[in-house]
A and B are shown apart, each in its own frame.
Chain A
Amino acid sequence: MFSFNATKKLNVMKSIRYKSLTGLLLLIVSISSCRKGLLDPLPNDRVSENIFWNTENDALLATNALYTDLDSTNVITWDALTEIAHTNQNFDTQAFIELGSYDIANTKIYNEWSKAYRGIRAANYFLENVGKVPSSNTTLINRFKGEAKVLRAYQYIKLAGFFGDVPLITKTLSIAEAQQLTRTPITEIWDFIDKELSEASALLPATYGAADKGRITSGAAWALKARADLWAGRYQLAIDASNQVTGYSLYTSYQNLFKYAAENNSEVILDKQFLKDTYPHGVFALLAPYSQKNSQSYYVPTKALVDSYETAAGKAISDADSGFDPYHPYDNRDPRLRFSVFVDGDILPSGITFKPAPNSGSPDAVGSTYIASTTGYNIKKYINTEDYANPANSGINIILLRYAEVLLTKAEAKIELNQIDAEVYNAINTVRTSRSDVKLPPIPAALSQIQLRQIVRHERTVELAFEGLHLFDIRRWKTAETTMPGPVFGITYPDASNKLQTVQVVSFNRVFNSSRDYLWPIPQRETNLNTNLKQNPNW
């Protein structure tokens, strides 16, 4: 009973079905055939490890990257954990360290730990792989190795100073390996540093051409070794290493030492190099007074430091015959005071006068806002007028080691060994008298070891203030327990009735526990992840 029409319709239907099915299948086949790479996209926004380590230039590029692990403006934060400076904002995690209320979870401590090990890993990775580079220029490859070794030792010196015993890692680690680490006794860390720096010094040149200014020299290796040996109490080694640091001399102007014009001068042994716009930091915004485009005064000097500067005649201001006038406290002082610290009456980069007294009505007045300096002092080192236009874009190199430290290291080591001779006096007096703008009287002759120890410590404190050494010094000297506890004081100023008032940071009483605080705790995150890491005493 099928009609002709029905059959035709059915055929049409069949035909549609057939054609459509063929069409769909063709489409599916054709689209899928051109999608082979769907699951294997190769990133074009990064460089594969597999194509690297093929040329000398690869080795150079990898060496360059290692320098980014050097410290920079963060060295100032360490001084703010000592009596000479203060973290201005009471709610900063670093302020809790000052207060003694910090704990194993403190992020500042974790950050220093992880930053150091990041640098160590980068150097280990470099040293493991640089050998793959086919090169007949052994001198060049050795120089790269020397740079990497010094940069790695640099991190270990810091770690030993912060934490004491730390894991000594000399190869790249897997996660599992890192979870098995134990702390290496600090003496072995010092041994390693000594060995590495000695080896590196032989691989490195004494100087570089203009295009490579800022690279590690053999002098830098020796100077770091001197630093490490001093901290380790290996005084003779420190003296020997100091003697190897040649070709450097004190820069003629202390005031200009931290200015753009003096970058790469004869005193700088190691610095972190910066470049405005391209590789900048924000030291101006970090440290300059609040009136300077709302800069942050993040770390500020304290009365303890300011008072320790001698008078121009070389006397302590506490001396009855020093001639110190509390109404004009900054006159006739060691010139380094006003080269290092902004004090009342200074002209600021914007051209205005710095007026920190609480009753001055200035934006910088103590108490006007929590951002203004709470002590009435601001750090002046590295604060350059050139950076005022754009405070977060500073290109000034941050000095990590300069020749004055080497001189004082040598002097201190000799004093500790009681090798008191002309070299000791010479080293200290060079720092006090040889610059065009620092002409303090030489120290008196024929002092005892104890007197000289006091003098060299004082000299280090003022000469190297805010350069990241004082925290390690007070730990070595074990003076923190006496200098740290108590309130933090600032400027002394005449009130409305011309009576002298001294600024005290509100609600800030430092606590220092001598059985605990000479070493930082191993960060909680690390001990959680690796139970083999034993904690420091009393943490």
Chain B
Amino acid sequence: MLSMALALYSTLLFAETNNGRNIKETRIHLSLQHASLKTALQQVEQESGLLFICNKRLLNRYTSFTINKTDISVADALSLLLKETGITYQSKDHLVLFSRDESAAPAVKQSADVVIRGKVTDDKGLPLPGVTVKVKSATAAAVTDNEGNYQIRAADANVTLVFSYIYYKTQEIPVNGQQQVNVQMEASAEQLDAVVVVGYGTQKKTSLTSAVSQINGNLLVQRPVSNVQQSLQGLAPGVTVLDRGGAPGQSNATIRVRGITTFNINSSSTGGYNLDKNDALVIVDGIEQKLADINPDDIDNVSILKDAASTAIYGSRATNGVILITTKRAKENKLSINYNYYYASQNAINKPEMMGLEAYMRMQQVAYTNAGAALPARFTDESITTWVNATDREKYPLPNVWFDRVLRSAPMQNHSLSVAGGDDKIKTRLSARYMTQDGIAPNFKDEIKEVKLNTDYTAAKILKFTGDLNYRTNQATNPTVDPFNNLFHGSLWAVPKYADGTYGLSTQGNNPLMFAEIGGISTKFDDNLVANLKAELEILPGLKISTQYGARIQNIQQKNFTNAYSNTDKNTNITKTIANNSLTEVRNNLKEFTWNNLLTYDKTVGKSAFRGLIGHSEISNTQNYLTAYRERFYNNDVTSIGQGANDGTKSNAGYDAKFGLRSFFGRLNYSYDNKYLLEANGRYDGSSKFTGDKRYGFFPSFSAGWRISQESFWQSLSSTVNELKIRGSWGKTGNQSVDLYSYYSALALTTYTFGGVSVPGYRMSTLANTDLGWESTTQLDLGLDATFLNNRLSFTADYYRKVTNDILLNLGIPATVGLTAPPQNAGSVENKGFEFNAGYRGGNSEFKYNISGNVAINSNKVLDLKGTGPYITGSDIDPRYIVAKGMPVNTLWGYKTDGLFQTQAEINSYPTYAANSKPGDVKYVDLNNDGKIDANDMTAIGNPFPKYTFGLSGDFSYHSFDLNFLFQGAADVDTRLAGALAEMGNQEGFTSSVYTNNYWTPDNTGARFPRPLKFDLRNVATSDRLIIDGSYLRLKNVQLGYTLPKEVASKVHLSRIRVYVSATNVLTFSKLNEWKLDPEVESGRATYYPQTSLYTAGINVQF
């Protein structure tokens, strides 16, 4: 033991000062994890068999060492530990005496201009060329040659040399009068000792036993996005981001971690089953928040917890993975100011293209003729000639020019400023952001203003406080009447706008440009305040208690005003009148308070290291919703709710909601010799969404890892495979996404009327289910982490299988029960798959590069529906989805087809979908051979959720230039077209140019599409013909940056100026390109705000 108890200053004299033989020759194994100097010295003493004598007053209690050396001399170990401590030592035989270093006083200045030489080697002792050597606080610099040799001129021999090289730790070596300074570089801790944020703490990457993907905040801001969801796309395997664009302020991106685990059955849905319950839990600095609400510039780090081992500590909310976001904090005392600005020009990526005028009109002729109907006046030969030859498009308008007239280029700008700094006691980081985004259609706009203040107080070395405050206001406007449906539907042959400013109208009275411009405006103010206070106390070395209280307050205020107006098409006299203007106002107030208490303990005993955590957490949430309606305002500018007609037409409604979650959780980590790693987690969650003995649920997980590369037998391989770890985990997580009070038997208010007077009534509308319990997911994960080539190449692979049981299903009850279905615990879904991630970092000090790629494969299958189902939604004209045992969730459902009927004889010998079928009609397959085509012939025809997702990103820098790119894509995914996209002009909608000269006629029997048939849908029933392979590969982003020379920057008193240009969503390979549709288009009518491409120019400035 360390002879501290002696508390005695030895007066022994040593014949041989300093370097005793023993300490140089004795080699030991040193393994420290967050160890204090005392613990470290104890370990050296124990390992070496020497006797250390020391005054414990000398030992700084608060240093923390994490060192892992299998073979190190005691002398080297001591110099490592005593560096910067002001402690020196003397040794003789087996004794080592520690004392204060009296020579550490400032050295006497010696003669000027010395030349220092030396050799730099890598961690294997091989020469390292290209290492930059600098004299600290001076301008002199040199680079090592091919043999790793350098020479540098310094003012004197007492300077400090700084050795730096990419992917190696920068070292500062005091020359101490020597002329030869040899240095062995250590591989950068960035990779080996990288710290990963996990639930309620951090962990070294090397000792991680679970599947966690970490994304550095810098990657997220490489392309301009209005929200974080989009920026996560393609960066981590197992994280599937479906980005369907979205109007300014209204993201349309969904994130799925390792597939779809659950679904909500909702009979009224036409878009398949509601999958909102699959959203991952998002925790920002310990507090649950919405991903869309975070300023990308504030993000330091994103951890995506994927397996149960890492997520079980979040228990009942963790089934769909957990996204942990850590925001940036001030790290140094030095003041640093950053300003980022970009300007982006947005454009719709795809503008569906209408058939050419004559081709379209001729096709209509065929369609009417095939239907046996007389040609309407517009489609007679004479009319077609007139129309085609006309030049006056006010009199003879083109059928559909909306994509060109409604969509336009729109700017987006973002200013982001941060100031960070402080002293040893207080450090703060203040950031502010101002973003404006115009829409690519009229009256779409978004404006975000936000400030964030992160403050750290060190009251004492053992007591720390943090206080964070984030306020954000988001004002999004959009036209009250959505114009996008009418780009495709019900809007043919209208003049978008006459020269005199009036609008043309289609025969259905539609004009999407008019709707967007004068239909009225909806404004949504979304105010968010997040306050987060935390105190942390170190009770004993290694034992810490912390408490955190977070408040999240969201106030949404919405004003949707519909204008009154009247417009008459001056050529056709068709009139559209909105007689009454009206206003719907919405107030939605949400308050959520989170309170976390943690007790953590770290202890190393010999080769065994323990870490433990126990915690308690409570969340309480209240929500209040109010909506009010009035109409007939004086004009469209008087828009205050009190100004609407005060009569029977006014109405209001609202509800209150409350829920709470109380949890207890814990974690235990054990590692032996840094080789064998074990971890156990557990969480006990109680939720107000359940009652009785179903209220609490327990969610455990276990994981283990083996760092094979740490074994002695691996030594021969360790220069090739630097690090190899295998790991496995098993655990259970839950999902409590169920409507509030589902267990509560309640009566709802109804309205009826007798004799002209309104009367209230009460009735039961939803069945209550008191047996409702947790949905739970059991997940197995097997993984492998490896690094090669001096840690330049890293590789991670995972296999997982997760089974979700007791899925909270909403409808599965016979209608004969007569009530809306309650959620029930029924059904199981399996997700299994593989994830691979590889990265390579290379180059030298001039040219650096970093490439990483990832692939994820996910298979989804419904295992069991407890004897209910299958559940089918949709119809003949919209996508049909099925949830059925043995199939992926929301499989596209419909008919198989076998080409087109070519002859009447063929038709006569095969069942048809509709009576009076003719050659050129679709041949639907009579799958069950019962001689008729009906719902029983339907089968799985497509998978709407990608099976494969992949991403490839690269960063290159050469001198002052940097370039990065991101490719991203998905495969084995299908899209089902519907509405105008599918109808091929048989109704009155947009007709894609894809059909041009490619429909069946007796002269064109090999055509891809069936015969046109006006007002008949027999050829567009849900079938595999309407399924388009949605696989794609997209260059999501490419950015080129240039950092101005330092001299230029310093002239304007700045330390760094970088300018860049980037392009987003500019290159896509996809089968949907021919339809001019975005590859991520959702099955259906594509009638939403289009996905955009962006060209961006930006600047980053550091003061």
Segment of B149-157, B786-794, B809-817, B939-947 engaged in the interface with chain A: B809-817
Interface string of B740-753 (1 = CB under 8 A from A): 11001111111111
A residues lining the B interface (CB < 8 Å): 1-3, 6, 13, 16-17, 20-21, 24, 27-28, 31-32, 35, 37-41, 43-50, 52, 58, 61-68, 90-91, 93, 96, 99-101, 103-105, 107, 110, 113-114, 117-122, 124-125, 167, 169, 172-175, 178-179, 181, 210-215, 263-264, 273-279, 293-294, 358-359, 363, 367-372, 389-390, 393, 504-509, 511, 523-526, 528-530
Q: Known contacts A49-B745, A524-B935: does B463 contact A41 (CB below 8 Å)?
A: no
Distance, CA A129 to CA B358, complexed state (A): 69
Determine whether the beta carbon of B537 is less than 8 Å from that of A24: yes
Residues of B within 8 A of A275 (CB): 753, 756-758
Determine whether the beta carbon of B376 is less than 8 Å from that of A367: yes
Distance, CA A220 to CA B507, complexed state (A): 46
Distance, CA A363 to CA B812, complexed state (A): 45
Determine whether the beta carbon of A13 is less than 8 Å from that of B816: no
Determine whether the beta carbon of B815 is less than 8 Å from that of A117: yes
Determine whether the beta carbon of A64 is less than 8 Å from that of B760: yes
Please tell me which one of the listed residues B547, B661, B915 contacts residue A24 in the complex, with CB atoms under 8 A apart.
B547
Distance, CA A368 to CA B7, complexed state (A): 104
Residues of A within 8 A of B659 (CB): 41
Determine whether the beta carbon of A279 is less than 8 Å from that of B752: yes
Residues of A within 8 A of B759 (CB): 64
Determine whether the beta carbon of B763 is less than 8 Å from that of A28: no
Residues of B within 8 A of A31 (CB): 549, 595
Distance, CA A526 to CA B870, complexed state (A): 10
Determine whether the beta carbon of B545 is less than 8 Å from that of A21: yes
Residues of A within 8 A of B388 (CB): none
Give the number of residue pairs across the A-B interface with Cβ within 8 Å: 295
Determine whether the beta carbon of A117 is less than 8 Å from that of B753: no
Q: Which of B781-804 contact A (CB under 8 A)?
A: none
Residues of B within 8 A of A63 (CB): 761
17 inter-chain pairs at a CB distance below 8 angstroms, sorted by A residue, are A28-B547, A39-B688, A64-B761, A68-B763, A91-B987, A104-B935, A121-B817, A121-B819, A122-B764, A178-B816, A211-B754, A211-B755, A273-B755, A278-B751, A293-B577, A393-B649, A506-B371
Tell me the minimal C-beta distance from A454 to chain B in angstroms.
30
Residues of B within 8 A of A90 (CB): 1015-1017
Q: Known contacts A47-B762, A181-B814: does B819 contact A118 (CB below 8 Å)?
A: yes
Please tell me which one of the listed residues B746, B753, B913 contacts residue A274 in the complex, with CB atoms under 8 A apart.
B753
Residues of B within 8 A of A100 (CB): 915
Residues of A within 8 A of B574 (CB): 363
Q: Flag whether B119 is at the interface (Cβ < 8 A).
A: no
Q: Which of B494-529 contact A (CB under 8 A)?
A: 506-509
Please tell me which one of the listed residues A2, A179, A214, A509 contacts residue B755 in the complex, with CB atoms under 8 A apart.
A214
Determine whether the beta carbon of B761 is less than 8 Å from that of A370: no
Distance, CA A178 to CA B764, complexed state (A): 17
Tell me the minimal C-beta distance from B707 to chain A in angstroms.
36
Closest Cβ neighbor of B549 among chain A residues: A31
Determine whether the beta carbon of B761 is less than 8 Å from that of A113: no
Residues of B within 8 A of A44 (CB): 656
Q: Known contacts A38-B620, A529-B814: does B537 contact A20 (CB below 8 Å)?
A: yes
Q: Known contacts A121-B818, A211-B755: does B688 contact A40 (CB below 8 Å)?
A: yes
Residues of A within 8 A of B618 (CB): 32, 35, 38
Distance, CA A122 to CA B371, complexed state (A): 47
Determine whether the beta carbon of B579 is less than 8 Å from that of A293: yes
List of 3 A-B pairs having minimum Cβ-Cβ separation, nearest first = A121-B818, A65-B761, A64-B761
Determine whether the beta carbon of B755 is less than 8 Å from that of A210: yes
Determine whether the beta carbon of B537 is less than 8 Å from that of A21: yes
Determine whether the beta carbon of B746 is less than 8 Å from that of A41: no
Determine whether the beta carbon of B579 is less than 8 Å from that of A390: yes
Residues of B within 8 A of A27 (CB): 547
Residues of B within 8 A of A43 (CB): 656-658, 740-741, 744, 746
Closest Cβ neighbor of B741 among chain A residues: A43
Determine whether the beta carbon of B576 is less than 8 Å from that of A294: yes
Determine whether the beta carbon of B761 is less than 8 Å from that of A17: no
Interface-central residue, B371, B463, B818, by most chain A CB under 10 Å: B818
Determine whether the beta carbon of B757 is less than 8 Å from that of A211: yes
Distance, CA A358 to CA B963, complexed state (A): 64
Closest Cβ neighbor of A51 among chain B residues: B747
Interface string of B672-687 (1 = CB under 8 A from A): 0000000000000011
Distance, CA A323 to CA B872, complexed state (A): 56
Determine whether the beta carbon of A105 is less than 8 Å from that of B687: no
Q: Flag whether B193 is at the interface (Cβ < 8 A).
A: no
Determine whether the beta carbon of A114 is less than 8 Å from that of B815: yes
Tell me the minimal C-beta distance from A52 to chain B in angstroms.
6
Tell me the minimal C-beta distance from B327 to chain A in angstroms.
24
Determine whether the beta carbon of A122 is less than 8 Å from that of B872: no
Residues of B within 8 A of A37 (CB): 660
Closest Cβ neighbor of B766 among chain A residues: A46
Interface string of B342-368 (1 = CB under 8 A from A): 000000000000000000000000001
Residues of B within 8 A of A263 (CB): 756
Determine whether the beta carbon of B761 is less than 8 Å from that of A120: no
Determine whether the beta carbon of B655 is less than 8 Å from that of A369: no
Distance, CA A152 to CA B695, complexed state (A): 38
Tell me the minimal C-beta distance from A135 to chain B in angstroms.
17
Residues of A within 8 A of B824 (CB): 175
Determine whether the beta carbon of A45 is less than 8 Å from that of B655: yes
Determine whether the beta carbon of A61 is less than 8 Å from that of B868: no
Determine whether the beta carbon of A47 is less than 8 Å from that of B747: yes
Determine whether the beta carbon of B988 is less than 8 Å from that of A369: yes
Determine whether the beta carbon of A506 is less than 8 Å from that of B597: no
Residues of B within 8 A of A178 (CB): 813-814, 816-817
